[in-house]
Structure 1
Amino acid sequence: MGLEKVVEKLEEVPPLLRLLTGSATGQLITTYVNMITSPRKKGEKDGPLEVHLIILDNGRSKIFADPQRRQTLQCIRCGTCLNHCPVYTRIGGHAYGFTYPGPIGKILTPQIEGLETAGVLATASSLCNACEEVCPVKIPIPELLRRIRSESYSKDPSSTISGQGYKSNGIESLIWKMWAKINSHSWINTAGLKILSILGLKLPNIGPLKHWTRYRATPTIAKKSLHDLVKQHGVDNE
């Protein structure tokens, strides 16, 4: 079992079981609980001669070391986030390709396996926040998904997750910098839209855009912007 399943005292188990079954299926109590105790004591006629409990770390201690990511380990495996996830309910668990599917798998697997191996799982989300709303232990799954996505493109020196920046691309970074430059100067944005409204927007049916433009209509640029229409109707204070 994973080390996050360890609780300090036996009296802490019943609340977790009630929370687990109530969140998973609405039951008051689970239909079975396996209690493993010590080996057979002297004079006892039943019980194992030896007991071996294997506790796996498998990267979990590194996850726990991060104050934000350690919240992932609070998961009690109730499956509530899976039942409410619009992605999981449509593609099923096998599509994820790893042991843990659904929203919790999207944040746990990349942290264990590394971003280069499983970071793509974080993109299979609409960030609708349904998983966080229904999670009985309040794991901020959307927030952790955004962090994993961010670290897939850039490196955080304080982070221990492997494979950071594996999606980093010079051309893509340049495009986003140009986009930020254009949108931070209104006159550039306005001039560009006016030129496009006159010439028309034509997306090339070649290269990486070929498959995208094959099934999509070219967006139409309005002749006048919203700001122009507001001014035209005599509204000065926008």
Structure 2
Amino acid sequence: MAFAEKPPTTEGGSRHVPIRPSRGAGVHRPGLPAAPGGWAEPAGSPAAVSAPGGGPGRVVSPSAVGFREASARAVLDPALREAIRRVTDNLAVRRVQVTAELPHFDVLRDRAKRIKEHTLANLDRYLEQLEAAVRARGGHVHWARDAEEAAACVVRICREAGARRVAKSKSMVTEEVELNRALREAGIEPVETDLGEFVVQISGDRPSHLIAPIIHKRREDVAELFRRHLGTPADAPVPVLTAAARAHLRQAFLQADVGITGANFLVAETGTVVLVENEGNARMVTSLPRVHVAVAGIEKVLPRLADLAVFLPLLVRSATGQRLSAYVSLLTGPRGPGERDGPDVFHLVLVDNGRSRVLADPELREALECVRCSACLNVCPVYERAGGHAYGSVYSGPIGAVLTPALTGGRGLVDLPFASSLCGACRDVCPLRIDIPRMLVALRARAGQTAEARWERRAARVAAWLLCRPRLYRWASVAARVLEPVVRRVPVGALRRWARGRDLPRLSPTPFHRAARR
């Protein structure tokens, strides 16, 4: 997806809207197609430029520790595995129960798929329509090409509002752009008001699940945190802990100068921001502070308000196993004349941060259909054993194994596409039927073209060369039997990495060709 330069405006620099991608024959081809070499743009796709005016900039930050090392540590932690299994199993069972109540659930899935495919194919038009609708209702629209620009935009808005403290509701995209760090560096105190995100913040941790950020923590861990930060007893039961958090966060709502949220959906037709939650904190964040800033990826847009009748039942049932979440807020601009609640000022920050690159890629574009329900995480055997932190990114689980390499262009993350058994459970439960295994295979093909995989290709060529020369192959077999005890004790290089998760098979003392003669 490329961006076309528009006349400059007073907000967010130059306006840019995405040029819709090519609708050539390769856009929706079935099966598991071979990927192009390396990380170049796929053939037939337009060159991708990241959002307004320039290159992709800094995108989702990968962890310094790779998935292999992090997951190897995680699988040795039985308490972590049990905590993850308990929550994900519960969410998965509840999803099955509530989706069974809806006889036309699969019809909704098919309808949502068609809406998303149409929206992404016409994203430029719907983003322009969204911008016009927000402005018509008195709101302000800003375009951010990368994480740094998005964070800087929000910081600028907060400074212009004279904010010293901001209240935030749960938002994956603000985690993605590292907004809290940028706010702190600017001398502005961010307060996470979602209970799970609040625990993550005061513990200096990171979320490990898309909708359950502290899935990896025990009640005792939270009680100790609250004892240190809120003064509750070390053995306080859950109701006491939640009451203490409620009292503390209520002051944050009342003292906040700016409220910051994400968006589950953006409606192009009306300029509406849709927030889905269960705690009510997002409603407080958007009602009490004088300024509301919504930060959202450009893929969150839906064409019409009526489309929510399709997406809301799918999202809530797939995410939390509920028929409907406790709070669904539809926010359209700042408070109007005669209205008693809502902000005086509304800003919408539209973030690209690598999404234009993904939109221009016919093999990976489907990942932008994700509604962040986390259903794929809850059925993934790899996520259950490794946990979310092992992925080293804001986005974990099967969809994270696709999104993170896709948004970053694959830099330093060639191990994530292999963090899957390709069992297909993620595709089966996805409300939009996103074919995650197909995209993982495509990413694996690209990973095979990188410098990190060069030794594998060389080893394959050496093996092929030996197999074509029987005499040399027999001598190599003799050498392998002689060196086998040494290799088992001192594995080196790539063999060491290979042997970490596998038992080296013992070589037969009798070669096959001799045994065959007998």
Tell me the TM-score normalized by structure 2: 0.37
Distance verdict in 2 for CA 1:3–1:190, change over 3 Å: farther
Query: Aligned residue for 1:48?
Result: 343
Partner residue in 1 for 2:460: 176
1:195, distance to aligned residue in structure 2 (A): 7.7
Is the CA contact 2:335–2:341 (under 8 Å) kept in the aligned structure 1?
Answer: yes
Kept after mapping to 2: 8 A contact 1:201/1:221 = no
| 1:182 Cα deviation after fit | 5.4
**Deviation string, structure 1 residues 66-100 (Cα, Å, up to 9, x no partner):** 22211001111111110111111112112222111
Partner of 2:435: 140
CA-based RMSD = 3.1
For residue 4 of structure 1, report the CA deviation from its aligned partner.
Answer: 1.0
The answer as to whether partners of 2:334 and 2:346 remain within 8 angstroms in 1 is yes
Give the Cα–Cα distance (whole angstroms) in 2 for the partners of residues 167 and 217 of structure 1: 22
Change (3 A) 1:35 1:190: farther
Q: Is the 8 A contact 1:20 1:78 kept in 2?
A: yes
Equivalent residue for 1:167, pick from 431, 452, 458: 452
Q: In 2, Cα distance between the equivalents of 1:120 and 1:198?
A: 32
Structure 1 pair 41/218, CA: closer, same or farther in 2 (3 Å)?
A: closer
- Among 417, 438, 446, the alignment partner of 1:151 is 446
SS of residue in 2 equivalent to 1:150: helix
Partner secondary structure for residue 33 of structure 1: strand
The one-letter code sitting in structure 2 at the alignment partner of 1:167 is: E
| Structure 1 residue 133 displacement after superposition | 2.2
Write out per-residue CA displacement over residues 93-147 of structure 1, whole angstroms, 9 at most, x where no aligned residue: 1222211110000000111123223332222222222212222211111121122
Contact 1:110 1:119 in 2 (8 A): yes
Residue 16 (structure 1) shift: 0.7
CA distance in 2, matches of 1:128, 1:92: 18
**Offset at residue 45 of structure 1 (A):** 3.5
Q: Does 1:83 align with 2:368?
A: no
| Cα separation, 1, equivalents of 2:320 and 2:474 | 53
- Closer/same/farther in 2, CA of residues 174 and 194 from structure 1, 3 Å limit: closer
Q: Over residues 25-66 of structure 1, what are the superposed CA-to-partner deviations in whole Å (9 max), with x where a residue is unaligned?
A: 332212221221122223334332221111111110111112
- Structure 1 residues 140 and 201 mapped into 2: Cα distance closer, same or farther (>3 Å)? farther
3-state DSSP of counterpart to 1:116: coil
Whether contact under 8 Å (2:376, 2:426) holds in the other structure is yes
Give the drift of 1:191: 8.5
- Equivalent position SS for 1:52: strand
From the superposition, tell whether residues 182 and 129 of structure 1 become closer, same or farther in structure 2 (CA, over 3 Å).
Answer: farther
SS at match of 1:105: helix
| Structure 2 residue corresponding to 1:73, chosen from 368, 388, 400 | 368
Letter in 2 for 1:101: S
Q: Which amino acid aligns with 2:413?
A: A
Q: 1:195 to 1:46 in 2, by over 3 A?
A: closer
- Once the two structures are TM-superposed, the CA of residue 168 in structure 1 deviates from its matched residue by 4.3
Which sits farther off after the overlay, 25-34 or 60-69?
Answer: 25-34
Q: Output the CA distance in 2 between the equivalents of 1:199 and 1:68.
A: 42
Q: Quick one: percent identity of the two aligned structures?
A: 37
Q: Which moved more, 1:100-109 or 1:122-131?
A: 122-131
Query: Which of structures 1 and 2 has the larger relative contact order (alpha carbons within 8 angstroms, sep 6+)?
Result: 2
Distance in 2 of aligned mates of 1:201 and 1:129: 42
* Offset at residue 152 of structure 1 (A): 2.1
Deviation at 1:179, TM superposition (A): 2.9
| 2:399 maps to amino acid | I
Normalising by structure 1, report the TM-score. Answer: 0.76
2:334·2:345 contact (CA, 8 Å) conserved in 1?
A: yes
The alignment status of 1:62 with 2:346, answered yes or no, reads no
Match of 1:16 in 2: 311
Q: Which amino acid aligns with 1:138?
A: R
Q: Which residue of 2 aligns with 1:94?
A: 389
1:199–1:99 Cα change, 3 Å:
closer
SS in 2 for 1:46: coil
Q: Distance in 2 between matches of 1:173 and 1:63?
A: 27
Change (3 A) 1:54 1:130: same
Q: Distance in 2 between matches of 1:190 and 1:85?
A: 46
Q: Is the 8 A contact 1:74 1:139 kept in 2?
A: yes
16-25 or 117-126: bigger deviation: 117-126
Question: Counterparts of 1:133 and 1:45 in 2: how far apart (Å)?
Answer: 45
Quick one: which amino acid aligns to residue 386 of structure 2? I
* Residues 1:221 and 2:508 aligned together: yes
Q: Which runs of 5+ in 1 are unaligned?
A: 155-164, 233-238
Distance of 2:429 and 2:375 partners within structure 1: 7
Instruction: Give the secondary-structure state (helix, strand or coil) at the position aligned to 1:55.
Output: strand
User: Cα 1:37–1:190, aligned 2, differ >3 Å: closer, same or farther?
Assistant: farther
* Residue 111, structure 1, aligned to residue 397, structure 2: no
CA contact (8 A) 1:116 1:166 kept: no
2:460 maps to a residue whose letter is W
Contact kept? 1:201, 1:218, Cα under 8 Å: no
